């Protein structure tokens, strides 16, 4: 289970003129590796993949692979609502030796039936030469993947896990209870990561850990070992700032915090905007409390 523990959905740092900030990205990768992160996720929604050109996607992935130097597994986000186009993207990505797995969100906008979701992922699995992690995020896709759908897809050989961001703990428990023992269940909600681990989940793909990798990975390690006292302490220590990070949109909040700690600036691409000064000040206070 090389994708258990704490995975981080990396932001894509930009310069003030909107261009890619290569040094900021390299600094972020090292910051994760040096502070306990278990695997890296590139070009998810937190990485603003929707606003990256194909050339920028190739560049960001190449930078992460180069800076990582094989130290951590890398998961590449590949999603979309055109199955045939996504199959072609996967066939192209298969040749990249620096990528260890794919993370693919359920199709957005089309609102497919559960049968359509199953057929979509089976087409991806047939094309993929690397493991696939499913991603259920109905808040973005307007379409929930039911536990039954996930369990059917868990039978497919190279579908190895699920990033679950429905917020429905009963659904998460049904997947954990009935999936094959080697099927990963990863929280896609930072605030629910610790509770999910305590009920049998295997880890998280986190936004918060961009800025708090040491604290977040320590919390997850404690939860996965059954150390409830330590896990609870760290969970509640980070709960308020977790809510602040998402108060005015993601990754706007986490990028503001990364600017505060000197990793990269807070530039995002439209239609996202930087967070308010009021929220920045609240996050600074919360971070000082955590680090104090």
Catalytic residue list contains 135:
yes
The question of whether 255 is a catalytic residue gets the answer no
Of 57, 102, 121, 135, the active-site residue reads: 135
What pairs with residue 39 in β-bridges? Answer: 7
SS3 144: coil
Closest alpha carbon to 3 in 39, 47, 37, 34: 39
Q: Any idea how long the chain is?
A: 292
> What is the C-alpha separation between 24 and 266, in angstroms, rounded?
11
* Active-site residue identified among 163, 282, 284, 291: 163
Find out whether 78 and 134 touch, Cβ atoms under 8 Å. Answer: no
Longest CA–CA separation in the chain, Å: 51
3-state class of 82 per DSSP? coil
Q: Are 76 and 58 in contact (CB under 8 A)?
A: no
**Which structure tokens are listed for 13?**
């740092």
Q: Spell out the residues 6+ positions from residue 155 whose beta carbon is closer than 8 angstroms to its own.
A: 180
Phi, then psi, of 36 in degrees rounded to 5: 95, 0
Q: Which residues are catalytic?
A: 135, 163
């Amino acid at each position: 289970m090389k994708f258990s523990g704490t995975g981080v959905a990396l932001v894509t740092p930009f310069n003030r003129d909107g261009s890619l900030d290569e040094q900021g990205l390299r600094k972020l990768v090292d910051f994760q590796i040096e502070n306990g992160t278990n695997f890296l996720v590139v070009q998810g929604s937190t990485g603003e993949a929707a606003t990256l050109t194909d050339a920028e996607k190739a560049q960001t992935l190449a930078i992460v692979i180069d800076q990582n130097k094989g130290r951590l597994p890398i998961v590449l986000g590949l999603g979309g609502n055109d199955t045939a186009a996504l199959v072609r993207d996967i066939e192209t990505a298969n040749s990249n030796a620096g990528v260890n797995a794919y993370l693919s969100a359920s199709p957005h906008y089309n609102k497919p039936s559960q049968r359509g979701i199953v057929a979509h992922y089976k087409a991806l699995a047939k094309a993929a030469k690397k493991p696939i992690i499913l991603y259920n995020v109905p808040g973005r896709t307007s379409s929930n993947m039911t536990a039954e759908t996930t369990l059917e897809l868990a039978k497919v050989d190279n579908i190895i896990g699920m990033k679950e961001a429905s917020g429905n703990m009963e659904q998460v428990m049904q997947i954990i209870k009935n999936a094959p023992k080697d099927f990963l269940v990863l929280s896609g909600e930072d605030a629910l990561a610790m509770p999910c681990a305590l009920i049998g989940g295997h880890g998280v793909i986190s936004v918060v850990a961009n800025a708090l990798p040491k604290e977040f990975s320590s919390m997850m390690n404690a939860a996965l070992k059954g150390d409830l006292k330590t896990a609870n302490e760290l969970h509640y220590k980070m709960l308020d700032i977790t809510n602040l990070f998402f108060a005015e949109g993601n990754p706007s909040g986490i990028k503001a915090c990364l600017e505060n700690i000197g990793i990269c600036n807070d530039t995002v691409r439209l239609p996202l905007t930087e967070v308010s000064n009021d929220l920045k000040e609240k996050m600074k206070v919360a971070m000082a409390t955590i680090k104090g």
